[in-house]
Amino acid sequence: MPNLPTLNATVSQLLAPGKGLLAADESFGTIKARFDAIGVASTEETRRDYREFLFRSREPMSRYVSGVILFDETIWQDASDGTPLVDLITAAGAVPGIKVDHGTVPLAGFEGESITEGLDGLAQRLDAYRERGARFAKWRAVIDMDDGLPTHGAIRANAQALARYAALCQAHDIVPIVEPEVLMDADPDISRREEVTRFVLQTTFQELFEQRVALEGMILKPNMVLTVSPGADETAIQDVAQRTVRVLKATVPAAVPGIAFLSGGQPDAAATAHLDAMNRMGPLPWTLTFSYGRALQTTAQRAWAGLADNVARAQGAFAHRARMNSLASRGEWTLALETAA
């Protein structure tokens, strides 16, 4: 049986009021693309320097960030002065976490669909990650929408993998973040986006139940039900919030303590606005917060541009975005706060 007191203690830290997660778990390919956009070579040293200045950003890390999701390379790296990067995170009062999936591959027999790999050897890797300091983990399942997609078979296969991952995490006293992400770019019909997201979450929780995952000791990381132009105006923002909360109410048991949304490539302020709108919708059975990557980091990356002289300015940009999302997690954000920055 899962050690619920240990899991609950970590969950409480991760869901601290006014805080959310920094998703700094970009794969080698993803971080290279982000660095290419700012003219920085992606090397072990530049990746370390970039993440080090984020983790040394005192105000946002201590006030607005509850946990940091790391990539395998990062969890083993030391800062420029020899301090393990995980120690920088814990010194700021945040919890280190780790992405444990190995990415997606084509799902045999299902044209155009994928499955996430990484279950082989996961138990041993979890032990090593926990010894290094990780107290939670993340696994991302990718559900593609297109003509005739997703199929029930692909949804179920990914949900089963998510559930096995979650059960293994809890057996090793690590909180699982369960991330079923529906990719919506190929289908502009928001009603279908809502329908597919609902079915994916229903299937995921059925598999979590079958694998005896303790819902009280996990966090859900879903996509929002987005319009084609997210955050375009107040009507669109409210539509996203209402559809997303409607799906959550229909599928996510109240035993789940918290939901930390992924930003899904939204513009920074749009991701903030949608989270804020949902938190203004009245009492909900779960904490709603953020687990953002690009929506927390893009402006900081641009300000940094690989130059040590730009670190202070980049840390300021990171602090601003973290503060905006902290306010949104409380339902206290306004657009005026963005424009006043």
Q: What is the mean pLDDT of residues 99-115?
A: 97
Per-residue pLDDT tens over the stretch 156-177: 999 999 999 999 999 999 999 9
Asked if 44 is an active-site residue, the reply is no
Q: How far is CA 302 from CA 37, 71, 165, in A?
A: 8, 21, 35
pTM value surpassing 0.95: yes
**Average of pLDDT values for 215-228?**
97
pLDDT at res. 154 = 98
Place of tokens 């120690």: 87
pLDDT tens figures, 177-207? 999 999 998 889 999 999 999 999 999 999 9
| The pLDDT value given to residue 230 | 79
Query: Residues 52-61: pLDDT tens digits?
Result: 999 999 999 9
Nearest-angstrom CA–CA distance, 289 and 259: 6
* Average pLDDT value for residue range 293-305: 98
pLDDT bracket for residue 339 (50, 70, 90)? confident
Query: How far, in Å, CA of 245 to CA of 234, rounded?
Result: 16
Task: Identify which has the larger pLDDT, 327 or 232.
Answer: 327
| pLDDT at site 232 | 74
Give pLDDT, residue 340: 62
In the chain, % of residues over pLDDT 70: 99
Q: Does the pLDDT at position 341 exceed 90?
A: no
- The domains located in the chain, with CATH, are 4-337 (3.20.20.70)
Beta bridge partners of residue 175, listed in sequence order: 136
Span 128-151, mean pLDDT? 97
Q: Which of 26, 179, 194, 207 is catalytic?
A: 179
CB-CB contact of 70 with 134 (8 Å)? yes
Catalytic one of 19, 99, 138, 221: 221
Active site residue 138: no
DSSP 216: G
Mean pLDDT of 78-101: 98
Cα 306 to Cα 34: distance, rounded to the nearest angstrom: 12
Phi/psi zone of residue 267: left (φ > 0), alpha (ψ -120 to 50 degrees), beta?
beta
pLDDT confidence tier of residue 139, bands split at 50, 70 and 90: very high
pLDDT tens, position by position, 55-85: 999 999 999 999 999 999 999 999 999 999 9
